[in-house]
Structure 1
Amino acid sequence: MDEYRGGAPDTRDEGGLTTGEVARRLGVAPTTIRSWDSRYGLGPTAHTGGRHRRWTAADLARLERMCALTATGVPPAEAARVVRAETASGPPPRGGTATAPGPRAGERARSRAGSGLRLGDVRQECKGIARAALRLDAVALDGLLDDAIGEHGLVVAWTEVIMPTLQAVGRKWESSGERYVEVEHFLSWHVSGALRRHAPPVAADRPGATTVLACVPGENHTLPLEVLAAALAERGLPVRMFGGALPVESLVTAVRRTGPAVVGLWAQSRTTASRPLAQHVAALEWGVRGARRRPAVLTLGPGWAGQTVPGLPHPPGLAEAVAAVESAARG
């Protein structure tokens, strides 16, 4: 897994990366890499190990620059012309001594490629997903999301791959005059689809074991609840998902009709988080007389920071929320 961390590619014992590994790093389909090779001459500079072609750090830098240009709307043919020109204009040798212009060109290309989204120190998969989202490349994005969830599982994929990328996209449009809004919507939609593809069927209801998930009134950020619902379904726990901005009366009705063990209330903003609402839901009772039960209420999301409710857990992340639900539902 370390091969997917950090920005600089490893060269491995074979002398470079395979086309598939390059595609995952860049967030493009392998067929795109091969097309850029055959059409524009942006293939690997050397063969290594017989017929198998391996990509070096300098090769990868050229492709990163290609991705950065096409993500801004430059046609592929023009982007390739720019990349070839930049590569050819590397600093000349000094005093007859051979220099290594490749790393300089690679350094330049990496810095420009990274200017689209500032991701920081994250898994390499984040960068591939971000590039695919910037290009609005649906096929590549779905493939990368499926690979991340399939390899790491829902919880780790969300925490270490998907969420950092979503946060980077959010920071980008907030700092750029609300540009890139389409990228955020595009990425969120495909993440939601990936969660549905990988989540198992909803488990059958078991008395006292169901979890109700809903956004508080005025809150429409449903994606974190979607991943929590998928993670709980993965563990065989019955879930009832009510999505965004559920009115108070409807939330109360849902709790009384389902008799849940847990109610998760998501608030993205402090303006939507409501301590009285959480306390009201926690006081609801269900069941027959003499055996009344109350749900465990989880206050979920950053909106509850600084106004958590005494006695009501506030899990800081997805893994903690899953553990809290499992404890209450199975306890």
Structure 2
Amino acid sequence: MRDVPRFLAAGVRRAFVHALRGLHAPNPAAGVTAERAWKLFLLVPRLLLARPHETGAAGRAALLERIRAFEAGCWRELLEAAPSPEQRLQRSAGTDAERMRERACAQVRRGQLSRARQTLTSAPLAPGNAATLRLLSDPDKRPPRPRQPMPDDIASFRAADRVHLTAAELGEALRTAKRGSAAGLSGAAVEHYRLLLEDEEAMDLLAHAASLLANADAPAAVLQALALSRLTALSKPGGGVRGIATGDTLRRLVSRALAALRAAARSGWERRWWGQLGCALQRALASTLLGGCWRAPAQPTGDEGTPLGWVLELAEAEQQSRLPLRA
């Protein structure tokens, strides 16, 4: 389920917070390692938000029972009961055209008219058979190995300063993310993480997890899992297959927050440049009128340049976003 029912929102939020607490303060002696906490956090949507077979009151009871099972620590049982991708595909009975129409109608009901139009006019899905796999894995068009090795200085690069994302920066990235974006392999969607916006502790914990991911400070198994993408095969009008890779939602969210941070730094540098340019013009004009000697000011890229921390303070002040939680 992309949209979490209101009666389920508090339970899903508690599940996210429980996993994030273990990630923030691991306790290996009690069996709470960073790797287990990461896995539990990424699996929360798959454990709790799969659409039940039942509808109405029975479906509501089934969803609430999952919350109780999660809080009781029955995570393996929930994972085994979660439907596999093949089972989810079997549930969506009908032809490709019927499934496309149902998806477009659901997007219209959510108010996503542009996405509904794209669904109806986009290229159809390629059949999930061996021929499609052979086209997607063609070694001539998609080499299985890099054409040249990556330089060691790039492969082992570590930034001098650690990146720290705040709850405000991550919250802004969540609010401005497009609603209805495709989920990654974990099954998490932007709408799921937006539940944490209503809890200050939850956002602080999520910002801590995002900072760890931004610095690649996570177990190798977690980094490898987040590096994977969901591959969708589309049929080209003139023949052939086009592969569309969809990365995990958390990875895209962290990238969005980092891009906004870079934009703030750029704004600060631009303000600093314009300030120095204004001072330089005034000094040049004064020296010309008075016939004195003018010494050029220090450039931002020189040894006497302004520290980056000072420049960031010149960026636009952070203000609380007035954007609604739902686009």
Q: Same fold by TM-score, threshold 0.5 exceeded?
A: no
- What TM-score do the two structures reach when normalised by structure 1? 0.30
Q: Which has the higher contact order (CA 8 A, sep 6+)?
A: 2
- What TM-score do the two structures reach when normalised by structure 2? 0.31
Which one has the bigger helix percentage? Answer: 2
